[in-house]
A and B are shown apart, each in its own frame.
Chain A
């Protein structure tokens, strides 16, 4: 777990970098290490770590999804006793320094607006299943959000409102229906576009991205409560708020493409 690698590609003066944090899990055919203490089949975790480093050199790192696919492929084809490989990878949010719209050739700034991640799972003889996602993307809007018309019972004290502050930390994960010729960057960047789609509706994503099969979104409702200042003789007109991120309501939803029948 937590194998960290940074890869730099130099094209003349222009440098590209990608820094990642990978978890690799492989499942072996034999159990003799557990049953008899025979280690002859074991691929040491140290070897796995070294393999991640070495494959970054041999294959290069273009996107975390492609590198994850390369890792799975390596472990399944270099040995004949590995049954399954699972890779989870997070990408460090390095952004090129930007001054007046001009991008710097080799300077970057760490911009944790959102964390891009992926996980790839592949069984021996099977096709890999790729999920990508973004998480820890905290967004907030100060108006045009309301909540009314909900069920009221004897335990309900919440007041209806037409206008409130809405804040959430978005977690979204989607699955691809194919792994070749997929532009992984186009689906995961930029996070801001995703924000806009989510705040409107989940329907937008599937039409624009035909290689996305299924998308799951989880959004906790992180509350900001107007502080009642009447006891201090002040009229707080929704100007001063108390941030209260827990407890929070959690909203989840999964949308998937209608399955196509196969000729």
Chain B
């Protein structure tokens, strides 16, 4: 009886009452919460369709399709990776971290997953874990792995990895390695050397000017370095390239708050939340908690107590009407 209780308390229980769907095997990632009603559960080619939805900017649908692909094959490392990066774009950091970690359990040398994980750890304030992920990135990268030595004297983990990346950058005499520069940008964010981080991301963008993720990273670096106006320009560029990029719209809202443009901030947050809600094929509320928190803060600065109440209650429709935010 006790064992049953403990199992109940531990399991992420997904069985439908009509019992046509298979229960989740216990080996699936314990940290990742799958959606309980997934209309794409048995969809063939779920992974490919998920990729397509992500490309189109419908991130919520992409997440459901990728989850379906994983439920059909829990060892699909590529699907776990894509789910991780899509969740990050959808401003769901915890889900992103859980997915990427699962991907790396299956494929420990997956460079894209390691870089994405380092970014997510950085956003979560987990410095040690971020440095660890970047160290692994260098170690598994055939171009730079020879630079890794075990003991480097009494320096901090951050300085250690930073030195590695700087040495690696010096090897690239002919051109810029945008992934390496991304790693440098992340490290300079951790060390709060924002101007150097801006240089790194700008260098990466010179090679990949259409990469909306890089534009957002540049913007976030500028914002955290108190260059809010320039941050807004970078985010706008990212959103031009990918209008469904929820994270960038969230960041844009934050910069609006910092610039005192509270109305614009609220408008951006509401747009993002509406995009998330509208895309959801099932009835569940799957909007990002971060965006709601930021929305509450923006409204609290506007001296409209009735709207603040609506924000506390999660009444998106009322707020959208009040700020005249329509469907995109």
Please, which residue of chain B has its CB at the minimum distance from the CB of A213? B293
Does B5 contact A262, Cβ atoms closer than 8 Å?
A: no
CB nearest neighbor in A for B218? A263
Q: 0/1 per residue, A49-81, Cβ < 8 Å to B?
A: 000001100110000000000100110011110
Report whether A129 and B294 are in contact in the complex, using a CB–CB cutoff of 8 Å. Answer: no
Asked whether A261 lies within 8 Å of B231 as measured between CB atoms, the reply is yes
Give residues 192-212 of A contacting B (CB, 8 Å).
210
In the complex with contacts A79-B13, A261-B251, A261-B254, A123-B125 CB distance below 8 A: no
The answer to whether A127 touches B216 (Cβ under 8 A) is no
A233 close to B (CB within 8 Å): no
| B224 touches A (CB below 8 Å) | yes
| Residues of B with C-beta under 8 A to A258 | 258
Query: Per a CB cutoff under 8 Å, which of B8, B286, B294, B300 touches A259?
Result: B294
Contact B285–A55 (Cβ < 8 Å):
no
**B6-39 toward A: CB 8 Å interface, digit per residue (1/0)?**
1011011111110000000000000001011000
CB–CB B13/A80 < 8 A: yes
Q: Residues 126-144 of chain A: 1 if any B CB is under 8 Å from the residue's CB, otherwise 0? A: 1101000000000000000
> Given the known A-B contacts A80-B13, A263-B221, are A126 and B250 also in contact in the complex, defined by CB atoms under 8 Å?
no
A259 to B286, CA, bound (A): 22
Considering only CB atoms, which chain A residue lies closest to B216 in the complex? A263
A29 to B6, CA, bound (A): 25
CB pair A80–B125 under 8 Å, yes or no, is no
* In the complex with contacts A55-B9, A261-B224, A123-B289 CB distance below 8 A: yes
Complex Cα distance, B289 from A175, in Å, reads: 13
Any chain A CB within 8 A of the CB of B283? yes
Q: Are A262 and B33 in contact (CB under 8 A)?
A: no
Smallest CB gap from B189: residue in A: A263
A259 to B13, CA, bound (A): 35
Decide: A263 near B119, CB < 8 A? Known: A77-B13, A210-B125: yes
How many inter-chain residue pairs (CB < 8 Å) link A and B? 89
Q: Tally chain B residues at the interface, Cβ within 8 Å.
A: 50
Residues of chain A in range 116-131 having any CB-CB distance to chain B below 8 Å: 123-127, 129
* Binary B-proximity of A13-27 (CB < 8 A = 1, otherwise 0): 000000000000000
- Contact for B91 among A55, A210, A262, CB less than 8 A: A262
Q: Write the residues of chain A forming the contact surface with B, with a CB cutoff of 8 angstroms.
A: 29, 54-55, 58-59, 70, 73-74, 77-80, 83, 123-127, 129, 175, 178, 210, 213-214, 254, 256, 258-263
Point out residues on B near A: beta carbons under 8 Å: 2, 5-6, 8-9, 11-17, 33, 35-36, 91, 93-94, 119, 122-125, 185-186, 189, 216-217, 219-221, 223-224, 231, 247, 250-251, 254-255, 257-258, 283-286, 289, 293-294, 297, 300
Q: List 22 A-B contacts (CB under 8 A).
A: A54-B5, A55-B9, A59-B9, A70-B9, A77-B11, A77-B12, A78-B8, A80-B15, A80-B17, A83-B285, A123-B289, A125-B284, A129-B289, A129-B293, A178-B124, A213-B293, A214-B297, A259-B254, A260-B224, A261-B219, A261-B220, A263-B220
